[in-house]
């Protein structure tokens, strides 16, 4: 019987397999940021251990960094960033600090440098590590104990998850994006639907996505409960990688591509679970509640809790409507927002900024609108293309790179009761600031919403 892509990549990384034990898996790339690493480095120091492979490790500052120029004002954030600098220097880990041309959100810079390649195992103390699976590797988030384990051993003990195929047939209609697709998938299978699985996204609509779109889809796998999501590498992947600073060159490139082409699910392989979705039926999606599974097409209305048969889903909906300050039956298009956020590891790449700029060109925003590039390189590229002038002319704020309002660890937050349309990944209670209310949307819907002040699709303008 054939094997799935996930099974192939997993098997290629098993260092040790023994009865009654989890597999010991080799880790090809370990990404580090300031929030989930300090206690891990402390653990190494206490035990007198070193980083086994600093040459397979890279660090950046992203979660705490302000997106306006200047030093970090919050002394606690400042100390955390300084701690990373000290640890990186002591243990010999390459770091891209604030202000550096390579700095950015950890999941943006890996692919940007060409460090994220097909068939690799990649981990980071961050649940959105699933982003890197867009290149056809196994990439997943880990906790601080596991960060310490990888630093010390370059391996992780793990049981192989089950495999799930999400088959996306048809083509996304014009104006419908990778973000709408993944929001629709999460609404369909629920926040626990992928729990225990590695998801492989397949089918015509997935093949036609750009690398940026594929990263957006894989990024939110964790919001459906799946630790990892992946897409088989193809010519789109190779074209994205070729020429990047850490991509193979010359003869090594040819060898690598030959190997990468073998990284696909065999025709006779069997997945533990298959979910089917028709891309051609999709329209722009938006969340109305406080978990990413509580989403609907923008053309619909806030649902009534009574419409849920499952008592757990019903009480979750009641609680969500109360927190979100929404009434059942209100058309989603009538919901007014105070703030629009375009950015994050989900939608902070150049393609996302281009699509937002296209809508804002020649228009004025009616809300506070933050445009936060995912990395300094994205920022430079956007400025070369003149996108920043479009944003500024529209009245939006053009910021420095970082995680920013995705999780509000820096000064970019919502105030209690404020409502955002956000291109990020989580609409949890208080995620963007205590008492803040979040609607997850695509960059296009975010930009259109900024123009009208209400949740809006570009086609409505």
Partner 1 sequence: MEAFTTHTGTAVPLRRSNVDTDQIIPAVWLKQVSRTGFERGLFAAWREDPEFVLNDAAYDGASILVSGPDFGTGSSREHAVWALQQYGFRVVIAARFGDIFRNNSTKMGLLPVVLPGDKVADLQSAVEADPKLEVTVDLRERQVRWADEVIAFEIDDYTRWRLMEGLDDIGLTLRHADEVAAYENGRQPWLPTTV
Annotated binding site for [4Fe-4S] cluster: 345, 403, 406
The alpha carbon of 364 is separated from its chain's Cα centroid by a whole number of angstroms, namely 28
User: How many CB atoms lie under 10 A from the CB of residue 248?
Assistant: 17
| Binding to partner 1, residues 148-207 (CB under 8 A) | 148-149, 152-155, 157, 159, 161, 191-192, 195-196
| Strand stretches in 71-120, DSSP E | 94-96
Piece of 117-125, 296-304, 373-381, 385-393 that binds partner 1 (CB under 8 A):
117-125
Q: Which is nearer to partner 1, 63 or 388 (CB)?
A: 63
Q: Which is nearer to partner 1, 433 or 458 (CB)?
A: 433
- Binding residue for partner 1 (CB under 8 A) from 175, 358, 428, 460? 428
| Binding track over 57-76 against partner 1, x by CB under 8 A | xx----xx---------x-x
- Binding residue for partner 1 (CB under 8 A) from 11, 16, 208, 459? 16
Nearest approach, Cβ of residue 286 and partner 1 (Å) = 18
- Binding residue for partner 1 (CB under 8 A) from 162, 429, 453, 460? 429
Sheet holding 155-158, edge to edge: 14-16, 23-26, 155-158
How many residues sit close enough to partner 1 to count as binding (CB under 8 A)?
86
Reading the block at residue 107, the tokens are 């999941």
Nearest approach, Cβ of residue 166 and partner 1 (Å) = 17
Give the three-class secondary structure for 302. coil
- Binding residue for partner 1 (CB under 8 A) from 104, 125, 136, 374? 125
| Binding to partner 1, residues 282-321 (CB under 8 A) | 290-291, 312-313, 315-316, 319
Nearest approach, Cβ of residue 426 and partner 1 (Å) = 6
Piece of 46-54, 211-219, 389-397, 449-457 that binds partner 1 (CB under 8 A):
46-54
Within 8 A by CB and 6+ apart from 234, the residues are: 207
| Binding to partner 1, residues 219-238 (CB under 8 A) | 222-223, 225-227
Residue 236 and residue 210 in contact, taking contact as beta carbons nearer than 8 Å:
yes
Q: Write phi, then psi, for 17 (nearest 5 degrees).
A: -135, 130
Nearest approach, Cβ of residue 34 and partner 1 (Å) = 9
- DSSP state at residue 328: T
Residue 286's nearest CA partner among 461, 112, 427, 92 is 427
- Binding residue for partner 1 (CB under 8 A) from 3, 97, 144, 171? 144
CA angle at 412 for the pair 409 and 413, rounded to the nearest 5°: 80
Sheet holding 368-371, edge to edge: 397-398, 368-371, 339-342, 419-422, 437-440
| Binding to partner 1, residues 356-375 (CB under 8 A) | none
- Binding residue for partner 1 (CB under 8 A) from 4, 67, 80, 347? 80
Q: Which is nearer to partner 1, 351 or 412 (CB)?
A: 412
CB-based burial label for 253 (10 Å; 0-12, 13-18, 19+): middle
Q: Which is nearer to partner 1, 101 or 281 (CB)?
A: 101
Residue 405's nearest CA partner among 414, 396, 397, 418 is 414
| Contact status: 212 vs partner 1 (CB under 8 A) | no
Reading the block at residue 381, the tokens are 């590229």
b/e for 169-202, b at 16 or more Cβ within 10 A? eeebeebbbbbbbbbbbbbebbbebbeebbbbbb
| Binding to partner 1, residues 243-282 (CB under 8 A) | 246-248, 252-253, 255-256, 259
| Contact status: 56 vs partner 1 (CB under 8 A) | yes
| Contact status: 38 vs partner 1 (CB under 8 A) | yes
- Binding residue for partner 1 (CB under 8 A) from 7, 42, 358, 460? 42
Piece of 33-41, 297-305, 351-359, 442-450 that binds partner 1 (CB under 8 A):
33-41
- Per DSSP, the residues of 400-434 read -SSSGGGTTSSS--PPTT-EEEESSS---TTTTST
Nearest approach, Cβ of residue 215 and partner 1 (Å) = 18
- The Cα–Cα gap between 252 and 149 comes to 31
Nearest approach, Cβ of residue 248 and partner 1 (Å) = 4
Nearest approach, Cβ of residue 417 and partner 1 (Å) = 14
Nearest approach, Cβ of residue 255 and partner 1 (Å) = 6
């Amino acid at each position: 019987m054939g094997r799935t892509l996930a099974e192939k990549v997993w098997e290629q990384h098993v260092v040790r397999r023994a009865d009654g034990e989890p597999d010991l898996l080799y880790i090809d790339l370990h990404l580090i940021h300031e929030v989930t690493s300090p206690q891990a480095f402390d653990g190494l120091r206490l035990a007198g251990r070193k980083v086994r492979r600093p040459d397979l490790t890279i660090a950046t500052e992203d979660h705490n960094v302000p997106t306006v120029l200047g030093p970090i004002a919050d002394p606690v954030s400042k100390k955390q960033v300084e701690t990373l600098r000290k640890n990186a220097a002591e243990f010999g880990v390459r770091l891209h600090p604030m202000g550096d041309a390579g700095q950015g959100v950890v999941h943006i810079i890996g692919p940007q440098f060409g460090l994220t390649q097909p068939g690799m195992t990649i981990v980071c103390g961050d649940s959105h590590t699933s982003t890197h699976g867009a290149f056809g590797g196994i990439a997943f988030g880990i906790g601080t104990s596991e960060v310490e384990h990888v630093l010390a051993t370059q391996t992780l003990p793990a049981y192989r998850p089950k495999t799930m195929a999400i088959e996306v047939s048809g083509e996304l209609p014009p104006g419908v994006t990778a973000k709408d697709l993944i929001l629709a998938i999460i609404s369909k299978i629920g926040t626990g639907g992928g729990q225990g699985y590695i998801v492989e996204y397949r089918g015509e609509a997935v093949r036609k996505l750009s690398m940026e779109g594929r990263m957006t889809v894989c990024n939110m796998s964790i919001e459906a409960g799946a630790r990892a999501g992946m897409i088989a590498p193809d010519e789109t992947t190779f074209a994205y990688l070729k020429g990047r600073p850490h991509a193979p060159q010359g003869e090594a490139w040819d060898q690598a591509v030959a190997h990468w082409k073998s990284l696909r699910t065999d025709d006779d392989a069997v997945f533990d679970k298959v979910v089917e979705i028709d891309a051609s039926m999709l329209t722009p999606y938006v969340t109305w509640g406080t978990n990413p599974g509580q989403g609907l097409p923008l053309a619909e209305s806030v649902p009534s809790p009574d419409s849920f048969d499952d008592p757990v889903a019903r009480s979750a909906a009641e609680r969500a409507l109360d927190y979100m300050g929404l009434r059942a039956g209100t058309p989603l298009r009538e919901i007014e927002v105070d703030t629009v956020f375009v950015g994050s590891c989900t939608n902070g790449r150049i393609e996302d900024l281009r699509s937002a700029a296209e809508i804002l060109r020649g228009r004025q925003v009616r809300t506070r609108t933050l445009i936060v590039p995912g990395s300094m390189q994205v920022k430079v590229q956007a400025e070369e293309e003149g996108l920043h002038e479009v944003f500024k002319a529209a009245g939006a704020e053009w910021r420095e790179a970082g995680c920013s309002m995705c999780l509000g660890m820096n000064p970019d937050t919502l105030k209690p009761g404020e409502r955002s349309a956000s291109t990020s990944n989580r609409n949890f209670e208080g995620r963007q600031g205590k008492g803040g209310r979040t609607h997850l949307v695509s960059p296009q819907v975010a930009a259109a919403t900024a123009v009208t002040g209400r949740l809006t699709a570009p086609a409505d303008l």
